[in-house]
Chain A
Amino acid sequence: MAMPMESPITFTNVGKTKWWQRGLFASQTGYVLLALAVLLLVMHFASPYFFTQGNMQNVAKNFSFIAIATLGVTFVIITGGIDLSIGSMMCFSAMITSMVMTELSMPGSPAGSLFVHMASDGKTVLANVPGLILLVSVFAGLGAALIVGLVNGFCIAVLGLSPFVTTLGMLSIVRGLGYVVSNGRGSFPGGPDADYFYAATSGDVFGVPAPFIYLVMLALAMAVVLHHTSFGRHVFALGGNEKAAELTGIPVVRVKIEVYVICALAAGLQGIIISGWLGSAPANMATSYELNVIAAAVIGGANLAGGIGGPLGAIVGCVLLEVIRNGLVLAQVSSYWQQTLVGVIIILAVLVDRIRSRVS
């Protein structure tokens, strides 16, 4: 039932927004990216070591250690929520992964006999299928994250509790569970697949750190999901106007649960990767990392009020934090200044965006 058009539509009254006032150029992410470029240039002149291959690998590895979790929390922040249980989640997933790995690598135990056998010398433990233990234990760690994410999502979307309070509680619950399952001692990856585990988490491919490769792949996937699927569109709509999302028939409850599950899974994966680098999953691992992760997301342009954010911003935020940390070390400034400076940058980034939106 198309209606006939009397004449083609014209735009005499409505100007087109100039290209530099649209998209990346007009976003906080754009400004912070510019600031990052300037900072990199300054660092180049300030320290001859900054742009060396070793230091670059170091920087890439270090920011990848929080950036995957930042991608996850960005989903939550776009919907206007928050997840404070990230740090605890990292620890718990890492712990479950290495505990399962150790458990499955014991030839005597009932579960272990399925996966490993003794070599003929009676001392060396061999895997029945190389890599299978690694796969199962990583899935166990991510499974734990999935359950926590579902509980977070259920409390927030179905029971209607505030995201701040729910995830603050979950921060404590998950950290506590970590102490309970490990008796406060933490756990260590072990068994025949431990070498694969270290290679997959802290190894590198042609000089590129493995975590950085995961990060790039996940960020690309996230960009596609956010901007080219209806799920992504609904995530933005939820953050822009939750009531409108509800009225237009978007499954608000489902989308909310999904973003908390994504966030928990990202944190879990991040924790597993960090534990590979540390060589263990201590019970106090990643304590207060949620603050770094949220700070990185906010610096990169994710708006805590909801509706704005993306993978580029998340990564730019993480890189900026890491370059500052790295730069302070190279410049031989006391590392105690780092936290102070991070705080100043959070406020500056948001302030610049505020001034920009006032001006335009």
Chain B
Amino acid sequence: MTKPDTTPALELTGIGKEFGAIRALHDVDMQIRSGEVVGLMGDNGAGKSTLVKIIAGNFRPSHGEIRLAGNAVHFNRPIDARAVGIEVVYQDLALADNLTAAANVFLGRELKRRFGPFALLDHKAMAARALELFGELRSETRPDDFVKQMSGGQRQAVAIARTRLSNARLVMMDEPTAAISVRQVEQVLSLIRRLKEQGVAVMLISHRMPDVFAVCDRVIVMRRGEKRADKPIHQTSPEEVTALITGAKEAA
């Protein structure tokens, strides 16, 4: 496979993070190219979530540098990361139960129409766009239904639809397939493939080995806050990855 664009979409160098005396991350380097799907694996407490939160702008790294398409970036808030094209689907999905699907998709970036000095919400446009996005995700979700009445898969669709609003360069998904049905897992995986076709870089954080091996080009294994392996998927095996996660094998 040829790689026309050699500048990585995202490049991390020497990222470290301490919370008081706890060292959550130590000297992590990684690169993701556009159109590449990278699996990020590791046991609980391995540092995956911390790494995701640093890239998403929730935490500032204690050490190291983040480069996006070659330019160093500093995020103070999640909205800064979003502004440059980094989208996250959080594990708990970050949905407000008391709002509708469409309201959740557009949360924080509502479409508005101006009436003189006032800007009022454009409910129709938001519902129409949300329905379009749910259609792309093949999810039977009504934009006007409340999230509290929805199934796990529908909630997932709402959270993923959110990332499709903007032209994201990097989408990070934190355990997107953990709590949904088999059929819906297949839908989420096909969505990831579609993102890849569009040239979006995807980082899949997952415990589910079959999902990672089904869609990822490369797998990165974290253990005790350090990167222990970074291999193309066809040069490794579920057995090796499991050994790396548990520490039976130190590094590869």
Mask of A248-276 contacts with B, CB within 8 angstroms, 1/0: 11100000000000000000000000000
Contact of B96 among A6, A229, A307 (CB under 8 A): A307
Interface stretch (choices B31-39, B59-67, B130-138) = B130-138
Mask of B78-122 contacts with A, CB within 8 angstroms, 1/0: 110010000010101111111100010001111010000011110
> Do A249 and B79 have beta carbons less than 8 Å apart?
yes
| Residue B177 CB within 8 A of the other chain | no
| Residue B228 CB within 8 A of the other chain | no
> Do A9 and B140 have beta carbons less than 8 Å apart?
yes
Chain B residues with CB under 8 Å of A250's CB are 107-108
> Do A1 and B108 have beta carbons less than 8 Å apart?
no
> Do A233 and B121 have beta carbons less than 8 Å apart?
yes
| Residue A243 CB within 8 A of the other chain | yes
Q: A9-B135, A241-B97 are in contact. Are A14 and B140 (CB under 8 A)?
A: yes
> How many residue pairs between the two chains, A and B, have CB atoms under 8 Å in the bound complex?
100
> Do B167 and A241 have beta carbons less than 8 Å apart?
no
| Residue A205 CB within 8 A of the other chain | no
Tell me, in angstroms, the Cα distance from A6 to B77 when the chains sit together. Answer: 37
| Residue A12 CB within 8 A of the other chain | yes
> Do A11 and B140 have beta carbons less than 8 Å apart?
yes
| Residue A69 CB within 8 A of the other chain | no
> Do A11 and B99 have beta carbons less than 8 Å apart?
no
B180 CB → nearest A CB, Å: 14
> Do A247 and B198 have beta carbons less than 8 Å apart?
no
Q: Which A4-19 residues have C-beta < 8 A from chain B? A: 5-6, 8-14, 16-17
> Do B97 and A12 have beta carbons less than 8 Å apart?
no
Tell me, in angstroms, the Cα distance from A229 to B112 when the chains sit together. Answer: 8
Q: A233-B99, A233-B110, A249-B82 are in contact. Are A228 and B120 (CB under 8 A)?
A: yes
Tell me, in angstroms, the Cα distance from A244 to B92 when the chains sit together. Answer: 9
> Do B120 and A229 have beta carbons less than 8 Å apart?
yes
Q: Which B118-150 residues have C-beta < 8 A from chain A? A: 118-121, 123, 131-132, 134-136, 138-142, 145, 149
Q: Which A214-241 residues have C-beta < 8 A from chain B? A: 224, 227-230, 233-234, 236-237, 239-241
> Do A244 and B95 have beta carbons less than 8 Å apart?
yes
Contact of B99 among A5, A10, A228, A236 (CB under 8 A): A236
| Residue B208 CB within 8 A of the other chain | no
| Residue A285 CB within 8 A of the other chain | no
> Do B142 and A14 have beta carbons less than 8 Å apart?
yes
> Do A1 and B96 have beta carbons less than 8 Å apart?
no
Tell me, in angstroms, the Cα distance from A244 to B99 when the chains sit together. Answer: 12
Contact of B107 among A12, A229, A233, A308 (CB under 8 A): A233
Q: A17-B145, A244-B94 are in contact. Are A249 and B99 (CB under 8 A)?
A: no
Tell me, in angstroms, the Cα distance from A239 to B148 when the chains sit together. Answer: 14
B128 CB → nearest A CB, Å: 12
> Do B136 and A233 have beta carbons less than 8 Å apart?
no
B136 CB → nearest A CB, Å: 5
Chain B residues with CB under 8 Å of A229's CB are 118-121
Contact of B78 among A8, A230, A233, A247 (CB under 8 A): A247
Tell me, in angstroms, the Cα distance from A345 to B2 when the chains sit together. Answer: 72
Q: Spell out B's residues near A (CB within 8 Å).
A: 58, 77-79, 82, 88, 90, 92-99, 103, 107-110, 112, 118-121, 123, 131-132, 134-136, 138-142, 145, 149, 154, 162, 167, 194, 198
Apart from the given pairs A1-B167, A3-B136, A9-B138, 11 other A-B contacts in the complex at a CB distance below 8 Å = A5-B132, A9-B139, A11-B140, A14-B154, A230-B110, A237-B99, A240-B96, A247-B94, A248-B162, A249-B108, A307-B97
28 contacts between A and B (CB under 8 A): A3-B198, A9-B138, A11-B140, A12-B140, A13-B140, A14-B145, A17-B149, A230-B112, A230-B121, A233-B99, A233-B107, A233-B110, A236-B96, A236-B99, A236-B103, A237-B96, A237-B99, A237-B103, A239-B98, A241-B94, A243-B92, A244-B93, A244-B96, A244-B107, A245-B107, A247-B90, A248-B94, A249-B109
Q: Which 3 A-B pairs have the closest CB atoms?
A: A240-B96, A249-B79, A307-B98
